[in-house]
Structure 1
Amino acid sequence: MALVQVVVGSVREKRIGRKVADWFMEAGAGRDDIELELVDLKEVNLPMFDEPNHPRFANYVHDHTKAWSETVARADGFVFVTPEYNHSFPPALKNAIDYLSQEWKFKPAGFVSYGGVAAGTRAVQALKPVLACFQMPLVLENVHIPFVGSLFNDDGVFVPPDGLDEAARLLHDRMAFWIAHQAGLRDS
């Protein structure tokens, strides 16, 4: 079974990305083609990039980088859960991506973005050229959640509007498709 890591890109104290990621993972539970694994950058807790060598050489000296490399290397694809910060994505997510190189190569990437009226779409647009340098196929059918702050019940649970569960399932389907079709590239 293919492993898709759902990467929570925000590390802010009062972030909602973790709750959105939990919903996305629930929507994909029980599949027989992909397994979802939550990767929360707040828990990974990488310092600002501090490796002395360029990531493309994978000559890591710090234990936190070696652990991060092992985590990312075991995945077959990624779904980045990201808010929009000032028309872009969070610095913690950029930092986590920049730590590595080969570990990302040829693995498909999808997005669950959230925010206000723009639903985090500008964050996704900013992420695309960053991930393209790793030759990652970018899934077109993504999940964009506008006015996300209004989608929580009194208990703080994310309550998706009509159609969002279907959008999540479509993203899961596309991730499975691209993983199956990219596997040969990673082996070459």
Structure 2
Amino acid sequence: MTLRLPVFYGSYRRDRLGIRLADYTVRQMRARGHDSELIDARAVGLPMLDRMYKEHAPGEAPPAMEALAETLRTADGFLFVVGEYNWGVQPGLKNLTDHFLEEWFWRPAGVLSYSAGRLGGARANLAWRGILNEMGMVTAPSAVTVGGIAGALDADGQPQGEGGAALDKSFPRFADEFEWWCRAAAAARKSDPVPY
């Protein structure tokens, strides 16, 4: 079953290293037969949250917001590649997610995190789980954490060294589990109307 699985990334920094993990994730999901695209918060360029998508009159949302709303509505699940800023989440990605609400409902989310240090963004990974749950997604239990991101993936998002080998080893199990949740949710949405 081909799934629609956008990959969200949110760093606005000039020298972004996490984009390597986002590119790797898109490539891996496509290799598994899925329709996967990168949604780069910086490229989408939504303003700081003033009005959510649903607060715009029909047809009056900015074009980038309207296009993203359609991507969310038609997705089977969402993958979030997240960095850690001061034990917390990246503001660019948080701002993008906050523009929407109902569009996220009833689909699973998978979280992959990274950092320059050895903890691999684990604190941001944990923080995003609560955020995504509050926004109507269920998060898959497994997580991917990549420490030493500069050494684990090269500039083209290709695994290298021990960190890259560890990522290649852990990713298939993470993806298997995430796909299972996406298929289960898709089947449930077809057979059972969502409660709200």
Match of 1:6 in 2: 7
Number of corresponding residues: 184
Deviation string 1:85-132 (CA, Å, 9 cap, x unpaired) is: 010110011111110011100111111100112210111111111111
What is the CA–CA distance in structure 2 between the aligned matches of 1:184 and 1:59, rounded to whole Å?
32
TM-score, scaled relative to structure 2 = 0.83
- SS of aligned partner of 2:37: strand
The Cα shift of 1:175 comes to 1.8
What is the CA–CA distance in structure 2 between the aligned matches of 1:68 and 1:152, rounded to whole Å?
28
Match of 2:96 in 1: 96
Match of 1:177 in 2: 180
Match of 2:76 in 1: 76
Name stretches of at least 5 consecutive residues in structure 1 with no aligned partner.
none
Are 2:20 and 2:153, in contact at CA under 8 Å, matched by a contact in 1?
no
For the structure 1 residues 143 and 118, does the alpha-carbon distance in structure 2 shift closer, same or farther, using more than 3 Å as the test?
same
Percentage of identical aligned residues: 30
For the structure 1 residues 185 and 102, does the alpha-carbon distance in structure 2 shift closer, same or farther, using more than 3 Å as the test?
farther
Mapping of residues 18-97 of structure 1, within 5 Å: 18-32=19-33, 34-51=34-51, 59=57, 61-63=60-62, 64-97=64-97
- SS of aligned partner of 2:103: coil
Aligned amino acid, residue 180 of structure 1: R
Name stretches of at least 5 consecutive residues in structure 2 with no aligned partner.
none
TM-score, scaled relative to structure 1 = 0.86
Deviation string 1:123-151 (CA, Å, 9 cap, x unpaired) is: 11111111111331111222100121333
For the structure 1 residues 163 and 151, does the alpha-carbon distance in structure 2 shift closer, same or farther, using more than 3 Å as the test?
closer
What is the CA–CA distance in structure 2 between the aligned matches of 1:151 and 1:31, rounded to whole Å?
21
Q: Please state which structure has a larger fraction of its residues in helix.
A: 2
Aligned amino acid, residue 106 of structure 1: W
The Cα shift of 1:152 comes to 4.7
Are 1:106 and 1:185, in contact at CA under 8 Å, matched by a contact in 2?
no
The Cα shift of 1:50 comes to 2.3
Question: RMSD across aligned C-alpha pairs, in angstroms?
Answer: 2.2
The Cα shift of 1:17 comes to 1.8
What is the CA–CA distance in structure 1 between the aligned matches of 2:53 and 2:12, rounded to whole Å?
23
